[in-house]
Amino acid sequence: MMDKRQQLIETAFELFYRYGIHAVGINQILQQANVAKKTLYSHFGSKESLLEAVLIYRDDKFVNWLAARMQQASSGKTALLDMFDALDDWFNNRVDMLADFKGCFFINTCGEYGDSTAGAYQLCHDHKMRVRSLIREQVARLALSEDEERLVDMLSLLKEGAIVTAQVQGDKQAAVKARQLAEKILSDY
C-alpha cells in the first residue's frame, strides 16, 4: 500500500500532466487522492513544493527508464540509436510506467513557469542535464578524439525536437525520423 505522500505525488503528476499545473487545484488533487488537506500540508507546504516533489518523481522515473533502455546496447552508437527507439515507444504509448504521452512534463512545466529562477524551472533544467548526461556517457564510449560535445549537442537537440514534434504536431513517427537523422550523424563519427 502506497503512503499518503507518494499517493499525493503520483496523483498530482497524473493531473498536472493531463491538464496542466495551473489548471489543477489543490482540492482536485485532494479529492482524487482521497487525502485530507491537513495531510497534504503536513508533507508539502504549498502547491509549489508539491510540484517540486512531482518533478523529482518524474525525473527519477524517466531517467531510470531511459538509462535502462540505453544500457541494454553493446556499443555507444547502438545505445544512442536505442534512445530514439525508446522515444518511439513512449510517443506511441507503449511504455506503461510513463503514462500516455502528452509531451515532456518538463517542457510543459517550463511553458507554465517563465521565471528561470523558480524552483520548478530549475528542476526542469536539472532533468534535461541528467538526460544529456546519459547521451554524453554513450558518446564517450565512441572514443572520439574531438567533437564529443558537438555530437552531444546534436543528439540532444534532435531528441528534444522529436519530443516537441510528437507533441505539438502530433507526429507519432517523430522519433523514427529523428533516429534516421541520428544514424546519418553517427555515420560521420
Domains recognised in the chain with CATH numbers: 53-187 (1.10.357.10)
**So what's the pLDDT on residue 2?**
63
- Neighbouring CB atoms inside 10 A of 129's CB total 11
Chain centroid to Cα 169, Å, comes to: 18
Is the pTM value of this prediction over 0.85?
yes
Chain centroid to Cα 49, Å, comes to: 19
Nearest in space to 53 (alpha carbons), one of 24, 27, 45: 45
Q: What is the mean pLDDT of each run of 10 residues along the chain (189 residues)?
A: 87 97 96 93 93 98 97 89 98 96 96 88 97 96 87 97 97 98 92
**So what's the pLDDT on residue 1?**
52
**So what's the pLDDT on residue 12?**
98
Distance CA 157, CA 135 (A): 11
Compute CA distances 140 → 65, 75, 81, 146, 152, whole Å: 20, 10, 15, 10, 9
The answer to whether the beta carbons of residues 136 and 53 sit under 8 Å apart is no
